Amino acid sequence: AVKFVIYTMVGSLLMLVAIIALGNFALQINGQFTGDLQKLYEIAPKVSLNAQILMFLAFTLSFAIKVPLFPFHTWLPDAHVEAPTAGSVILAGVLLKMGTYGILRFSIPLFPDATFIFLPYIATLAVIGIIYGALVSFVQPDLKKLVAYSSVSHLGFVVLGLMGLTIESVQGGLIQMVNHGLSTGALFMLVGMIYDRRHTRMIEEFGGLARIMPIYATLFMIVALSSLGLPGLNGFVGEFLILLGSFKSKFLGTSAFAIFASTGVILAAVYLLTAYQRIFFGKVTKPENEKIKDLNLREAISLVLVLIFIVWIGIYPNTFLKKSEPSVKKIVEQMEKYRSGVFRAQR
C-alpha cells in the first residue's frame, strides 16, 4: 500500500503542476484562468513546443504509472498479490484503465506536437512491456503473480494501440481496456476461489484438478483462452485491431512495433496454457486436493455473467465498437490535421 501511494502520489503531483500551468497559459492567451477541457483543447496546442513537452511528460508520466507502463510497473504485482480478491478485481477491471483513458483523453489531444515527438518512444516501452510481462509471467510460481504480470503485457497492447493513432488501433485499444477488465478480473476471481479452498496460490501445490473440479476447470479454460486471444472470444478482437492498426500506422512509421508486439500473443498462450496444464491435468499428487469442492451456485453465476460479455464481444464486437467510433474518428482526424500542419511548418 505504501509503495502504491508513493508511485501514484509522485505522478499525480506532477500532473497537478501541469494542470495549473495549463490554466495559467489559458490566462495568458485568453485572459482567463480556466480548467474547462473544451477550451483547453483549443488553447493547449497554441502553447510553445517546450512548454507542451514539459506538460505532456508530466501528464503522461502520471498515466504511465497508473497503467502501469514498463518500467513504472513494479508496484502492480505487489499491489495485486497483497490485495484481497475484490481489490485485485477492482484494480484490474477499473483503476488501471484510468491510465490508458487519460493518455487518450488528455495527453494526446491536449499536446499534439509533443505527442508526435514522444510517440515512438512510448510505443517502444509498450512493446517492451508486452514481451517482458509475458516472459516474467511464464516463470512465476504464484498463480496470482502470474496473472498480475500478464496485466503488464496486456496493457502494453492497449498503449501501443493508442500510439498507433489509426481508427482500428485506437478502437482496439478501447475495446481491449474492456476486455482486460473482463478476462483478468475473472482470472483474479478464479484465483481467489481456489485460494479460499486451499489457502495457497502456488502452482506446484495443484495438479489434476480437472477431475475433481470440472466446472471450475471449464470456466478457467474459457477465461484463459479469452485472455490469450482465441478467435471467437473478446481478447482476439482487441489484439487483432491493435496489431492491424499499428501495422499500417503512419504515425509509428514502421511495422516493426506490430511485428514484435505479435510475439506477446504467442507468449501469452505459452504461460497461460502451461499453468493450466500444471494445475488441472496429470495426477493428483497432494492429498489435500482430493477433498476440494467444486464451485457453488453463487460463484458459478458470478463467473457466467462475465463470460456472457467475453463471448458477446468475441462474436459481435460491433455492439460496443460502434459506440466509441465517432469519438475515436474525431481524435484521429484531429491528430492527422495537426500532423500535416507540423510537417508543413517544418518544410
Tens digit of each residue's pLDDT (9 = 90 or more) over 284-343: 888 887 888 888 888 899 999 999 999 999 999 888 888 888 888 888 888 887 777 654
Whether residue 66 is predicted with pLDDT greater than 50 in this model: the reply is yes
Provide the pLDDT for residue 342.
Answer: 53
Location of C-alpha cell 476471481: 189
Provide the pLDDT for residue 38.
Answer: 77
Cβ–Cβ < 8 Å for 127, 260: yes
Tens digit of each residue's pLDDT (9 = 90 or more) over 139-198: 888 888 898 888 889 899 999 999 888 888 899 999 999 999 899 989 999 998 888 888
Q: How many CB atoms lie within 10 A of CB 95?
A: 14
Provide the pLDDT for residue 311.
Answer: 92
In degrees and rounded to multiples of 5, residue 56 shows phi and psi of -60, -45
Tens digit of each residue's pLDDT (9 = 90 or more) over 13-56: 988 988 888 888 888 877 777 777 777 878 777 788 888 888 88
CA 98, CA 217: separation in Å to the nearest integer?
32
Spatial neighbors of 117 by CB under 8 A, at least 6 apart, are 53
Provide the pLDDT for residue 285.
Answer: 81
Q: Omega of the bond prior to 71 within 30 degrees of 0, cis?
A: yes
Provide the pLDDT for residue 128.
Answer: 92
Provide the pLDDT for residue 312.
Answer: 92
Spatial neighbors of 298 by CB under 8 A, at least 6 apart, are none
Tens digit of each residue's pLDDT (9 = 90 or more) over 104-150: 888 888 888 888 888 889 999 999 999 999 999 888 888 888 988 88
pTM of the model: 0.86
Provide the pLDDT for residue 345.
Answer: 46
Whether residue 199 is predicted with pLDDT greater than 50 in this model: the reply is yes
Cβ–Cβ < 8 Å for 208, 296: no
CA 87, CA 158: separation in Å to the nearest integer?
22
Residue ranges of E strands in the chain: none
Q: How many CB atoms lie within 10 A of CB 323?
A: 10
Work out the mean pLDDT of the chain and round it to a whole number: 86
Tens digit of each residue's pLDDT (9 = 90 or more) over 67-89: 888 888 888 888 888 888 888 88
Domain ranges in the chain?
A: 2-346
Tens digit of each residue's pLDDT (9 = 90 or more) over 204-235: 888 888 888 888 899 999 999 998 888 889 88
